Amino acid sequence: MNRIEIFQDPVAFNIGPVPVTQTMLTTIGVSLGLVVVAALMRTAIRTRPNGRLAAVAELTVDALDGLVVDVVGRRVPWLTVFSGSLFLFIATCNLSGQLPGVRPPTANLATTSALAIVVFVTVPAAGIVSRGPVGYFSHYLKPNPLLLPLHLISEVSRTFALSMRLFGNMMSGHLIVALLVALAGILVPMPLMALDLLIGLLQAYIFVLLSTVYVGAALRTATGEE
Amino acid sequence: MTPEGWQALTAITSLVVAGITTALGAVGAAFGESRIGVAAMDAMARQPDESASITRNLFVSLAMVESTAIFCLVIGLILLFANPFVSG
């Protein structure tokens, strides 16, 4: 029972006084893989615009752009970059849990909290850049200054919910597979692992959709449509 | 009561409470999600053209409601596997 770990992160090795955990290694591996694929796609678009890799790149960018247009109502290139990076990173992290011996980095509360804090910082930054500090912070006082505490609580609680949702889903999926392997055998958890594929992609989509909605709401209050 | 007895009592209480927490969280989320599903199916049957945006909002609402169940599950797992009051 003690070997089941929810919050612990096994240390792979130490660099001087700094412990390097498995999550850090997997995260760096995922980032490197994504960067290499992106660089390959970039050269493919320049040299072979009709090739297969270029088509994949165009489809990916088009889908992510469509997501932002659906949520915000207009094209916001930097938001596409932000949401797209989040989606590709989280989806790859979630799916990396299917590799043998790899624990998905998103099944660690530190990773998901870091991602949620990025969103938490981006929302007011986007609002302030679009309309200035006064324009953005005045929306906290609408429709009534009495609601200011509720606005502030919702900012924090939705960040918390964002990180806990991703963490809980990925950790529980991984844990259920581990428990079934320990209790039943090798082939029994296969349906659940297939479900994990779906849940991993769905949770990545939901995380990105919610963060896009949050940032889009900050932009919308800035343009005065709400 | 001896310290071992208190430890055993804490462990038993944690097991029972973990089960109750997870079960009640699942029940609440199931009711909420069923209402969302009914409303979304109804809306899609009435307006099939809007099914893309309805589906997107459906997934967002499901995720929002589901997160309460996930919170309960995480609390249950903490009580089972990472309980701060049970040593060893």
Question: Domain map of chain B by residue range?
Answer: 15-79
pLDDT at A79 over 80: yes
Q: How far is B74 from chain A (nearest CA, A)?
A: 6
pLDDT at B34: 95
pLDDT at B24: 94
At A125, list the tokens: 């930054």
pLDDT at A3: 58
pLDDT at A4: 64
What is the band of A81 on the pLDDT scale with cuts at 50, 70, 90? very high
3 state SS of A14: strand
DSSP A166-219: HHHHHHHHHHHHHHHHHHT-SSTTHHHHHHHHHHHHHHHHHHHHHHHHHHHHHH
> Cα–Cα distances in Å, from A42 out to A80, A89, A141, B55?
17, 18, 45, 33
Mark yes or no for CB contact B56/A70 under 8 Å. yes
pLDDT at A226: 43
Average pLDDT for chain A: 87
What is the band of A113 on the pLDDT scale with cuts at 50, 70, 90? very high
Q: Which of B64, B67, B81 sits opposite A164 (nearest CB)?
A: B67
pLDDT at A31: 94
pLDDT at A2 over 70: no
Mark yes or no for CB contact A213/B60 under 8 Å. yes
pLDDT at B78: 85
3 state SS of B38: helix
What is the pTM for the complete model shown? 0.85
d(CA A66, CA A78): 13
Mark yes or no for CB contact B81/A4 under 8 Å. yes
> Cα–Cα distances in Å, from A223 out to A71, A78, A129, B17, B73?
15, 17, 12, 49, 40
Q: Which of A2, A5, A206 sits opposite B63 (nearest CB)?
A: A206
Q: Which residues of B touch A (CB under 8 A)?
A: 53, 56, 59-60, 63-64, 66-67, 70-71, 73-74, 77-78, 81-82, 88
Determine whether domain B15-79 maps to CATH 3.30.365.10: no
Per-residue pLDDT of chain B (88 residues; tens, 9 = 90+): 888 888 889 889 999 999 999 999 999 999 999 999 999 999 999 999 988 888 878 887 887 788 889 889 888 988 888 787 877 5
> What interface predicted TM-score (ipTM) does this complex get?
0.75
Nearest of A159, A160, A141 to residue A215 by alpha carbon: A159
- Stretch A132-150: mean pLDDT: 85
What is the gyration radius of the CA atoms in chain B, in angstroms? 20
Task: Name which of A6, A70, A210 to mutate to probe chain B: the one with the most chain B Cβ atoms within 10 A of its Cβ.
Answer: A6
pLDDT at A5: 67
